[in-house]
């Protein structure tokens, strides 16, 4: 991990143990935008969280930043409808972007198309996008619609990391099976990071490790 500006912006809570979790000192909502062209022309790196509707994107952002209610969550799929930008660090060093979900079959076709265009435009056209976190519900594994997004990221040479979510909802044996299946699938994708993050926002499982992965990507 580097020092200087980076070390000033995030607090490393390592008083006694090198394994103590790194913390994010500050995270604030900045702005919501409905399309790529209205996104501000910022120069800080961005880290986007994408995945199917209801996979737990907003909940995971709240867990990572230790800020309940920072990103709005809901039982009803389709809660996040625009690109939501959160400024992280003090002074601000990078942005986290919460995105609408894809693959929500019950939403009106026009709405689904709009989200799809927004996601594709943003992922392919955002110069400051540094890494994408692709969330996969651990109960379902990688579906065709996830596979399509992963292929698009491969083609655009955007590096991404797969994150399994909601692991508190499955048994340990099911978790092992979905981890193995997901690893086998992601090895076929050139832009996918060859490791999995396994998380539960609800029980805080894997959150410290994922936060470390985000902060390492920021510092890289
Ligand atoms: N049990 C459990 N529930 C979770 C977890 N993460 C999210 N949820 C629940 O799943 C639902 C959807 O979570 P969100 O964070 O709103 O999901 P999202 O991907 O942002 O959804 P959209 O914005 O609608 O695409 C909410 O009811 C959350 O409380 C988790 O780790 N465990
Ligand atoms: Mg959301």
Which one of the ligands is nearest to 199 CA? 1
Model pLDDT, residue 4: 46
Q: What is the DSSP string of 17-62?
A: -TTSPEE---EEEEEEESSGGGS----S-EEEEEEBTTSSHHHHHH
Task: Read off the pLDDT of residues 57-114 as tens digits, 9 standing for 90 and up.
Answer: 999 999 999 998 999 988 888 778 899 999 998 878 899 999 998 877 777 888 888 8
Mean pLDDT is lowest, of 114-118, 169-173, 192-196, for 114-118
Is there an atom of ligand 1 within 6 Å of 53 CB? yes
The mean predicted confidence, pLDDT, of the chain is 87
Is 62 near ligand 1, meaning CB less than 6 Å away?
Answer: no
- The ligand whose atoms approach the alpha carbon of 50 most closely is 1
Asked if residue 167 has its Cβ within 6 Å of ligand 1, the reply is no
C-beta separation of 149 from 102 below 8 A: yes
Q: Does any ligand 1 atom lie closer than 6 A to the CB of residue 58?
A: yes
Alpha-carbon torsion, ordered 39, 44, 47, 48, to 10 deg: 0
- CA of 3 from ligand 2 middle (Å) equals 33
The helix (run of H) or strand (run of E) holding residue 162 is strand 160-165
Tell me the residue range of the domain where 76 lies: 4-219
The pTM of the full predicted model, rounded to 2 decimals, is 0.90
Tokens of 146: 């996830």
CA-CA-CA-CA torsion sign (142, 147, 153, 155)? positive
Among 187, 190, 204, 214, which Cα is nearest to 24's?
Answer: 214
Least confident stretch, 15-24, 157-166, 176-185: 15-24
Report CA(63)–ligand 2 centroid distance (Å). Answer: 13
pLDDT at 22: 60
Checking phi first, is residue 4 left (phi over 0); if not, alpha (psi -120 to 50) or beta?
A: left
Expressed in angstroms and rounded, the spacing between residue 166 Cα and the centre of ligand 1 is 8
Res 117 pLDDT > 60: yes
Q: Residue 219 has what pLDDT?
A: 84
For residue 102, what are the β-bridge partners? 52
Residue 201 pLDDT > 80:
yes
At 26, which CATH number? 3.40.50.300
Closest ligand (CA of 137): 1
The rounded distance, in Å, linking the Cα atoms of 150 and 43 is: 25
Contact, 81 vs 115, CB < 8 A?
Answer: yes
Distance (angstroms) between ligand 1 centre and the Cα of 217 equals: 24
Instruction: Kindly give the number of the ligand 1 atom that is closest to the alpha carbon of 199.
Output: 31
**Number of domains, the chain:** 1
Closest CA to 45 of 86, 83, 12, 101: 86
Q: Does position 18 have pLDDT exceeding 50, yes or no?
A: no
pLDDT band at 166 (very low <50, low <70, confident <90, very high): very high
Q: What percent of the chain has pLDDT over 70?
A: 90
Ligand 1 within 6 A of CB of 82: no
Nearest residue (by CA) to ligand 1, atom 7, is 56
């Amino acid at each position: 991990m580097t020092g200087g500006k980076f070390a000033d912006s995030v607090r490393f809570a390592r008083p006694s143990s090198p394994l103590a979790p790194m913390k994010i000192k500050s995270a604030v909502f900045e702005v919501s935008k409905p399309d790529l062209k209205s996104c501000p022309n910022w120069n800080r790196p961005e880290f986007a969280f994408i995945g199917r509707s209801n996979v737990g994107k907003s909940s995971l952002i709240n867990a990572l930043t230790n800020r309940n209610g920072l990103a709005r969550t809901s039982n009803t799929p389709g809660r996040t409808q625009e690109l939501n930008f959160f400024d992280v660090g003090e002074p601000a060093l990078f942005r986290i972007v919460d995105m609408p979900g894809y693959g929500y079959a019950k939403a009106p076709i026009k709405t689904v198309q709009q989200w799809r265009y927004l996601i594709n435009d943003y992922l392919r056209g955002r110069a400051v996008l540094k890494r994408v976190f692709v969330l996969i519900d651990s109960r379902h594994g990688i579906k065709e619609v996830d596979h399509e997004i992963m292929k698009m990221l491969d083609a655009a040479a955007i590096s991404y990391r797969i994150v399994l979510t909601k692991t508190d909802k499955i048994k340990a044996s099911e978790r092992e099976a979905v981890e193995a299946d997901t690893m086998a699938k992601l090895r076929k994708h050139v832009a996918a990071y060859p490791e999995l993050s396994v998380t539960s926002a609800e029980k805080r499982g894997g959150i410290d490790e994922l936060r470390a992965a985000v902060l390492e990507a920021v510092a890289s």
